[in-house]
């Protein structure tokens, strides 16, 4: 498929976040720093949570989340950062389709992992006595496996129709990475059906999982009625970091994918949050609000020193 279409369109030009050369140089420094912090922070969390001392389901899910965040930001950030230094930030047709697949594969897998983490928090708070039996290692492994498989299926269904479209006209993608809506605008065909399918695919997954997450936290808050202040504090400290990540990630993704996109420049600015900002903040959010992770990080730092 890629080989057939590449005969008419060999490469695309990705647009930058700004046309001003001075601003682009500032963006280069800022986003390079963001990307380095993203990789370093998630590598630390990945190392810490994979240790045998932190073996609860929450850390098992957090380990996978950190790995996904490294991969997710690496799909888009290097291309965007290098584009600040060149006049035309080009990407091959095959590279563009591969980037599209990677963005939706890791993004959708992260959505499912966050949903699994919400279920873990629900069981830990609402059914603490049954927690070891309900959240067995086998169930956690299956939930992670289903998350990866669901991400792969979603990405395949999202990428294949785009790869089959003819591209014969303009090759400037109105985004800093290859995504569905910007590519649909460049296709030499009627893409209304593909556009609706993309909204139904990505939009419904984002919105439905977000509603499931909000519902789970409403149930948790209702179950805390009559609890002592210490019980409320423990429950909220357990869920606080996850709620923060959920709103930072799902807010922008739902905004971009739940509607047919008309303002691509607006989508481009919003996409920075879920492709780079949230993966960078995840390690800080989970580390700062979790005493066990902070203790493990301090032990790791002392060992390295």
Please, are residues 125 and 239 in contact by the beta-carbon 8 Å criterion?
A: yes
Per-residue pLDDT of 171-199, as tens digits, reads: 888 889 999 888 988 888 888 888 888 88
Summarize pLDDT for 72-83 with one digit per residue, the tens.
Answer: 999 999 999 999
Helices (H) and strands (E) in the chain, counts: 13, 3
174 found inside a domain: yes
User: Does the residue 304 lie in any domain?
Assistant: no
* Domain carrying residue 95: 11-289
Q: How many CB atoms sit inside 10 A of residue 219's CB?
A: 13
What's the pLDDT band for 6 if we cut at 50, 70, 90?
very low
Q: What's the token pair of residue 111?
A: 């959505």
Cβ(73)–Cβ(276) under 8 Å?
yes
Percent of the chain whose pLDDT exceeds 70: 82
The rounded distance, in Å, linking the Cα atoms of 296 and 133 is 26
Q: How many domains, the chain?
A: 1
Q: Which of 169, 196, 171, 193 lies closest to 182 in space, CA to CA?
A: 171
Whether 301 is in a domain gets the answer: no
**CA distance between the termini of the chain:** 52
Look at residue 298 and tell me if it is in a domain. Answer: no
Domain contains 297: no
pLDDT tens per residue across span 195-238: 888 888 887 888 888 888 888 888 887 877 766 676 666 666 66
Please indicate, yes or no, if residue 91 is contained in any of the structural domains.
yes
For residue 4, the model assigns a pLDDT of 44
- The CATH code of the domain that includes 184 is 1.20.1070.10
In a domain, residue 6? The reply is no
Average pLDDT over residues 51-58: 74
CA proximity to 98, closest of 183, 38, 195 = 183
């Amino acid at each position: 498929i890629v080989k057939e279409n590449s005969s008419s369109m060999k490469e695309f030009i990705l647009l930058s976040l700004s046309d001003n050369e001075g601003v682009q140089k500032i963006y280069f420094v800022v986003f390079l720093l963001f990307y380095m912090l993203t990789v370093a922070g998630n590598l630390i969390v990945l190392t810490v949570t994979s240790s045998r001392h932190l073996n609860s389901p929450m850390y098992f899910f957090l380990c996978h989340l950190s790995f996904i965040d490294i991969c997710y930001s690496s799909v888009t950030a290097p291309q965007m950062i290098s584009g600040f230094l060149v006049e035309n930030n080009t990407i091959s047709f095959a590279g563009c389709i591969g980037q599209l697949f990677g963005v939706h594969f890791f993004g959708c897998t992260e959505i499912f992992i966050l949903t699994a983490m919400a279920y873990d928090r629900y069981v830990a708070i609402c059914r603490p006595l049954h927690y070891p039996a309900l959240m067995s290692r086998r169930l956690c492994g299956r939930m992670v496996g289903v998350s990866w498989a669901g991400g792969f299926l979603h990405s395949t269904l999202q990428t294949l129709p785009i790869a089959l479209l003819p591209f014969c006209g303009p090759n400037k993608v109105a985004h800093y990475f290859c995504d569905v809506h910007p590519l649909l605008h460049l296709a030499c065909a009627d893409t209304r059906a593909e556009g609706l399918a993309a909204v139904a695919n990505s939009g419904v997954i984002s919105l439905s999982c977000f509603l499931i997450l909000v519902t789970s936290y409403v149930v948790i808050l209702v179950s805390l009625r009559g609890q002592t202040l210490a019980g409320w504090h423990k429950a909220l400290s357990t869920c606080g970091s996850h709620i923060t990540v959920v709103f930072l990630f799902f807010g922008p993704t739902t905004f971009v994918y739940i509607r047919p996109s008309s303002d691509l420049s607006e989508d481009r600015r919003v996409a920075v949050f879920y492709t780079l900002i949230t993966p960078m903040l995840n390690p800080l959010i989970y580390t700062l609000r979790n005493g066990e992770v902070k203790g493990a990080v301090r032990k790791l730092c002392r060992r390295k020193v």
